Each structure stands twice: as structure tokens, then as C-alpha cells.
A and B are shown apart, each in its own frame.
Chain A
């Protein structure tokens, strides 16, 4: 299966290895752009140093779904919340320590989040759909990464939407009874 380009969404892509620059990555023949370029260390650094990941998606009706992932040493929690018609519906934090490595691998190596074009802006209407992602890294060794868009979205955003939607379950709702 061909890898989809995170910039244009086409799958006319191929891998390359640059012996001179000691890098490898993917190239999109449609938009003529390289992505996922790495020297074998840099992306690993992003994965290891990621401490905070926040995701927010507002649909055209104004419903906001938020995911906040926070890592302290080896402990990682994911906290979902929904703001619907101005009312916050909190959810209980979920321990995702065991899947955090897979998650960071997804972010940086599978959906190429660092290569996403940002900001993306489509036609602005009365009701707009927006998304925002912010990543922070340990001791600010890497500058914060922000990705956002309005009415125009990166091809791989749908992967995150589907993944994060699975955390908004009825049983996980925090009704204040605990």
C-alpha cells in the first residue's frame, strides 16, 4: 500500500535514501515535496521528549471535542472533554502509559504530524469547523509545535479524529458521582 502524502493527500509517493546528507524519507511526486525526512535521531528525539499533546476539534454546530495527553515520567494520562451548547461534559482521565510509545510513533512516523501544513484556511462561512493541535516537549528542549486549520484540514486529521472519538464512551463520562 502506498503512503499518503501529509501535504496534498495523494499517494504517488516513494521512499528515498540520501547517502550524502545521511537522511531518509518520503517524496511525493504529486506535490513534489519531501516528508518524514529524518537522520535516524531527530524524530526519535521528538517522540521521547513529548510531554503534552492537546487536540481540539470544533464542528460546525459549535461542539468542541478536546483531548489532553500529559506525560509525567512513565505515567501518561489522556483526558477527553466535550463542550456542547456551552456546557462542559468532562470525562475521567484514562491511563494510556502502555500505549504511549505506539501513539507517538503514530504521530511522528505514521501520520507525519510535523510535516502538516499549518495554518490551513478554507472558505470562511457563518459556521466554521476548526481544529488545533499543540505539542510541548520536555524542558522546552524542542520549541512547541502548533498545527491548526479552519474549514480546510490536513489529510491525516481524520486518523486522529477516529482514534480520539474512541475515548468518548458513555462509561467514561465523569458524572461527578465518584
Chain B
């Protein structure tokens, strides 16, 4: 597994099950020991850490998601498309790399998009835990 040193930050938001107007936001930043610090920024601020093992699992999952979605321009996104008032978007995942660029995935098709359900579940669990 490639060390997470090339990732600067991962941001994700999804709509709250309680209300589509409310978004749940989470940010993961890599630490020196290859684990991730997790900060939930909405609905309430909460900080926690992923263990090294969980971080490795997370990176594997993330790579799979990016790979499966990057073959379809419908799901690839630019940062300026990160618009929570656009209700077509059900989630938005953005990975910032330290080499000055990012990769973003927009979630727009609950049942057609690769990994849609898995992404919602995985990050939903991170937000709730």
C-alpha cells in the first residue's frame, strides 16, 4: 500500500438522512504515522483518529472508489462543482494531493453509480461513530 503522504486532505459531504438541506461534512488529514485524523465539521464539530489499520483499510477503499468512478466523466467533478445547494448532488468527495491537484467525485445516481451505496455507508459510519 502506498503511504498516504501524497494526500494532503480528504473532504466529504453527504446529505443528512433527516433533511436534504442539511449536509454532514467530514475531513480526514494524514498524520505522520500513516493514520488519519478525522474532523467532523457538520452538523457538530467532533474530532477523532483512525487507527493505522483502519487508515490502511480506508485508503484501499478510497482507491477503489476513485478508480471505479474516474472512468466515467459523469461522476468526476471539479472543485467549483462542490455546490451543496445543487440538489442533484447527493454527496461530494474531494481528495487533495500534495502535488497541487485534487480528484473529486460527485454522487448523483444512487443506484447506478459505482460505489454509491458503499461511499454513503462508509462515510456515514465515520460521521456517526
Q: Which residues of A contact B (CB under 8 A)?
A: 14, 16, 18, 21, 23, 25, 27, 32, 34-35, 37-38, 42, 114-115, 143, 145-146
Contact = CB atoms under 8 A, between A and B. Distances in A.
Nearest to B83: A143
Given A32-B8, A38-B78, A18 B83 contact: no
15 contacts: A16-B100, A16-B101, A23-B101, A25-B101, A27-B100, A34-B100, A34-B101, A35-B79, A37-B101, A38-B78, A42-B78, A114-B80, A115-B79, A143-B85, A146-B85
Interface string B40-83: 00000000000000000000000000000000000000111001
- Top 8 A-B residue pairs of the complex, sorted by shortest distance between their CB atoms: A114-B80, A143-B86, A27-B100, A18-B101, A16-B100, A115-B80, A37-B78, A34-B102
A21 B78 contact: no
Contacts of B101: 16, 18, 21, 23, 25, 27, 34, 37
Contacts of B99: 16, 18
Given A16-B99, A115-B80, 5 more contacts: A21-B101, A34-B101, A37-B79, A114-B80, A143-B86
Interface string B82-121: 0101101000000000011111000000000000000000
Interface residues of B, number: 13
Contacts of A143: 83, 85-86, 88
A34 B79 contact: yes
Contacts, number: 35
Contacts of B83: 143, 145
A103 B25 CA distance: 35
B100 A21 contact: no
Contacts of A35: 79
Nearest to B101: A18
Nearest to A145: B83
Task: Tell me which of B80, B83, B86 has the highest count of chain A C-beta atoms within 10 A of its own C-beta.
Answer: B80
Contacts of B85: 143, 146
Nearest to A14: B100
Nearest to B98: A32
A145 B80 CA distance: 9
B94 to A, nearest CB: 10
Nearest to A35: B79
Contacts of B103: 21
A145 B86 CA distance: 9
